[in-house]
Structure 1
């Protein structure tokens, strides 16, 4: 089991190396063939079709739903989601760049770079690119609300080994109780030559559980509601505590006693998965994850049941649209613009981080692209002119109308599943959509006869936000906020419509292929 699940996927250094550490990448062998054969392997058992027949049907119809399920099942954390995106880009012929090195870009080229192993920027340069041409960008985020291990996670209660966690983002934390949980994320491992390696790890078997209190001991829970204390009640069980009396156990305890940060049992499980010694694990950055696979569900298999749909569904649709919009050399032959995908971390906690949308990562990349392609050009404000011609699609999941709580939606703005992308509006600029940007994005969809919906929050309710306003206000780029309608947002297990995945992919692909033409038809009186 450990040999199958082992992950040695490392990144070339894309950030400045700490002065005292040499972070050396290790090999990451993967089998694309195995991945493809796994499509729809874990579908709901009540389907009247075999996984093979459903997969064949999806492939023949041009659907990307099966590939999305594979992506979701691999992407337990923001690190794994970025690693999967990296793999897809390399397989499609994109060239990996290093932020620390000089870039030598050319028209028609396809490139990408990563930051912190959780943020990724990919782009394809049109063959007819000229200095000052615009950038057509779809931006999403790789993180989702979850529980994360505290820096000191080891604790013991009533002879149970417990793992201390902290809440990340605005999760529906009651949904994390009584789930089969495990851990995944990034660790730093000391190599035999004294260097240090970034490694990704995922423990696929159920490892942790947060049990609810029996109703016999909480008789009013159904009347008064389940209101757990997030500090004292949301602590997962790892195992029962066993007294170690053997000489070997005492020696082992003495070895780890100087590092009582995490349970020795947890470190041993991680080291077995990574194929290293527990003493060589120097640092961990781990999320708790639900082990139940992403799958199709519903009476007609029309739903996708999964964790992390917000916002990996948007991320994958955007990534796949970019790759497929320039898969052939001829796809960029008439393009003047630069097509770009930006996947950021930390959106769920405000984006103010080195790897979040609040950092100037995307706009620094745009400036570097312009400079690299400028050659001997000498002119005025190429970056500023390019931004004026650019357009950003901020893609983040949307609130579909809940059939049991329809009054929570404004009467005329109730997005439904299976009816296309939702364009988000807010007069107080919680979303960056304007009348012009909404019009242009809908015109792109009309080319492929793709439906769109509108969302605006009720005046007596608060409104969420996205990375759209952050990026729009950063340098003044035209922006539309949109998303796929879903239910159970921020639950450990979410749901969206299968058809909406393909509609979003087609709309994003049409955006890359036709936005230049659509934008050219709009006359603005400056």
Structure 2
């Protein structure tokens, strides 16, 4: 792919900007929505009737944390296929508990719950904040709306215990997730000087559902209300996650690395929608027989079994509504045979300090292309057919590919790929960019792979229908 170094770096910087603006799945979906709206995508509501037309662009959201967007090919007819890139918006993190107020030894703390399979020791000694959504009641109309919040300064910290009090910390460190991951927000004395009356132990839990604000530290409530310019009584509920305040950045002596939180899987959420938008920058949609679609789900890190997860009917119902045709009652079922999904989630790069963890013939490297993930036990959905199709797409797009299989003596993670493949009976492949420190609070990837992913997904949207037609078997 004849592209300048500046182009690779520009795409990487765009990704990092997206990551910095997306400390929660709600923020990630909001950022995607803004980009789609700028280029004319029309919002659809699940509660309304849809009218879909060729050459038009649409999106629909679920729970504010999942989004499906699609562009209808100029030659699309009911029963034709869908070209889909799927990813997820969530990452392992600590989430604020429903009743989070805690005081101990003169400190105000925030009760948190572990979400997903994080490397929790990496959350110690980081400058943390909170981000997510707050449900706010209007004082006058009493209508309730969802508001995004992101306090962009360090307000929380989980400090390590000194080595003098745990001499074996460098040999083994396994924090108790209930007792040791509780972040410190303030000293009780300073909080009270600020006017934040610290509730007595048990007061928050006993206060009942009438006051959501009373379930949380008055200091935390004050900071959120200041950010949103609301009163505590307007706070109906919230979903907040902790996030590192250190911004994502280019790293390495030659700026060849991505140092960032949430690369798994904001990397592919970003490159999926950028690939879709780039595929619409020329006239290729006019002759496309398919619908070009991205599906960004929530809750992949905890199994996808939610209304906004890949295990729900969200994807299927959107596809059915788009395919509906009174003249062809089996249009949706026909479309599945013409469709193909790229399940885009990050891959394990071969770590130089732990290279023995990789099978010798399958050691994905940085800068050498997007990784196709295989697993004979179907933890990944890739088959020889779906791999062949993507290799043809990659050849046309001039994007290098790599192969990955986990060692037989290692467990294998999974993705939305097998879920969607089994649920819809649709051809699916699992891919991703190589990275290190997956599920750490700070992950590491390669700058070149951002543009490789964008170009691969752009090429997939443009070339898949023709590649599919070249197959001479079912």
- Provide the C-alpha distance between the structure 2 equivalents of 1:167 and 1:295, rounded to a whole number of angstroms: 26
Within the alignment, does 1:366 sit opposite 2:315 as a pair?
no
SS of the residue 1:492 aligns to: coil
Q: Is contact 1:95-1:111 (8 Å) kept?
A: yes
1:156–1:251: structure 2 CA closer, same or farther, 3 Å change rule? closer
Distance 2:108 2:46 in 1: 42
1:94 corresponding residue in structure 2: 41
Alpha-carbon distance between aligned partners in 2 of 1:306 and 1:249, rounded to the nearest angstrom: 34
* 1:301 matched to 2:248: no
- Cα gap change, 1:72/1:416 in structure 2, threshold over 3 Å: closer, same or farther? same
Contact 2:191 2:219 in 1 (8 A): no
Residue 435 of structure 2 corresponds to residue 472 of structure 1: no
- Partner in structure 2 of residue 511 of structure 1: 460
**Per-residue displacement from partner, 1:240-299 (whole Å, max 9, x unpaired)?**
01188899777999x999443101110000000001112211211100000000110001
Report the Cα distance in structure 2 between the residues aligned to 1:348 and 1:249, rounded to whole angstroms: 36
User: CA separation in 2, counterparts of 1:274 and 1:135?
Assistant: 40
Q: Give distance in 2, aligned partners of 1:270 and 1:318.
A: 32
1:201 paired residue number: 149
The reply on whether 1:396 has 2:339 as its aligned counterpart is no
Match of 1:382 among 322, 331, 335: 331
Q: Unaligned 5+ residue runs, structure 2?
A: none
User: Partners of 2:194 and 2:426 in 1: how far apart?
Assistant: 66
Distance 1:465 1:217, change over 3 A: same
- Distance in 1 of aligned mates of 2:240 and 2:329: 47
In 2, Cα distance between the equivalents of 1:244 and 1:305?
34
For residues 477 and 239 of structure 1, do their structure 2 counterparts lie closer, same or farther at Cα, with a shift above 3 Å needed? same
Distance 1:246 1:369 in 2: 58
Query: 2:158: which partner in 1?
Result: 210
**Cα offset for 1:494?**
0.3
Alpha carbons 2:368, 2:400 under 8 Å: kept: yes
Q: TM-score normalised to the size of structure 1? A: 0.85
Change in 2 beyond 3 A, CA 1:103/1:58: farther
> Aligned partners of 1:171 and 1:241: how far apart in 2?
30
1:431 paired to 2:380? yes
SS in 2 for 1:301: coil
- Give the structure 2 partner of residue 350 of structure 1: 303
**Other structure's SS at 2:189 match:** coil
In the alignment, the residues of structure 2 paired with residue 408 and residue 250 of structure 1 have an alpha-carbon distance, to the nearest angstrom, of 52
**Alignment CA distance shift 1:243-1:95 (3 Å):** closer
In the alignment, does 2:468 pair up with 1:522? Answer: no
CA-to-aligned-CA distance 1:17-53 (integer Å, 9 cap, x gap): xxxxxxxxxxxxxxxxxxxxxxxxxxxxxxxxxxxxx
Is the CA contact (8 Å cut-off) linking 1:142 and 1:312 kept in structure 2? yes
Inter-partner Cα distance in structure 1 for 2:359 and 2:107: 48
* Matched position secondary structure for 1:98: coil
Counterparts of 2:107 and 2:195, CA distance in 1: 22
Q: CA–CA distance in 2 between the matches of 1:95 and 1:178? A: 44
Secondary structure of the equivalent of 1:333? helix
Contact 2:78 2:328 in 1 (8 A): no
For residues 381-416 of structure 1, what are the alpha-carbon distances to aligned partners after superposition, in whole Å with 9 as ceiling and x for unaligned?
Answer: 111110011000000000000100011011101101
Offset of residue 449 of structure 1: 2.2
- Equivalent position to 1:325, from 279, 295, 299: 279
Alignment: residue pair count: 462
Distance 1:342 1:245, change over 3 A: closer
- Does the 8 Å CA contact 1:58/1:65 hold for their aligned counterparts? no
Q: Aligned partners of 2:417 and 2:244: how far apart in 1? A: 29
Matched, 1:335 2:288: yes
Match of 2:114 among 139, 158, 167: 167
Provide the residue aligned with 2:93 in structure 1. Answer: 146
Contact 2:91 2:301 in 1 (8 A): yes
The residue that corresponds to 1:44 in the other structure is: none
Secondary structure of 1:369's match? helix
The reply to whether residue 261 of structure 1 matches residue 209 of structure 2 is: no
Does residue 281 of structure 1 match 2:235?
Answer: yes
Secondary structure of the residue that 1:199 maps to in structure 2? Answer: strand
Asked if 1:417 is matched to 2:370, the reply is no
Q: Which position in structure 2 is the counterpart of 1:502?
A: 451
Give the TM-score, by structure 2 length.
0.94
In structure 1, what is the Cα distance between the partners aligned to 2:83 and 2:435? 26
Distance of 1:173 and 1:101 partners within structure 2: 43
Pick aligned residue for 1:83 from 30, 43, 51: 30
Question: Structure 1 residues 152, 130: CA separation in 2 closer, same or farther (over 3 Å shift)?
Answer: same
Q: In terms of mean alpha carbon deviation, does 288-297 or 443-452 score higher?
A: 443-452
Instruction: Let me know the Cα RMSD of the aligned residues.
Output: 2.1
Aligned equivalents of 1:101, 1:130: Cα separation in 2: 22
**93-102 or 275-284, which moves further after superposition?**
275-284
- Supply the distance in 2 between the matched residues of 1:247 and 1:517 (Cα, whole angstroms): 66
Secondary structure at 1:144's aligned position in 2?
coil
Equivalents in 2 of 1:130, 1:75: separation in Å? Answer: 36
Alpha-carbon separation, structure 1, partners of 2:384 and 2:390: 10
* Alpha-carbon distance in structure 1 between the residues aligned to 2:300 and 2:194: 49
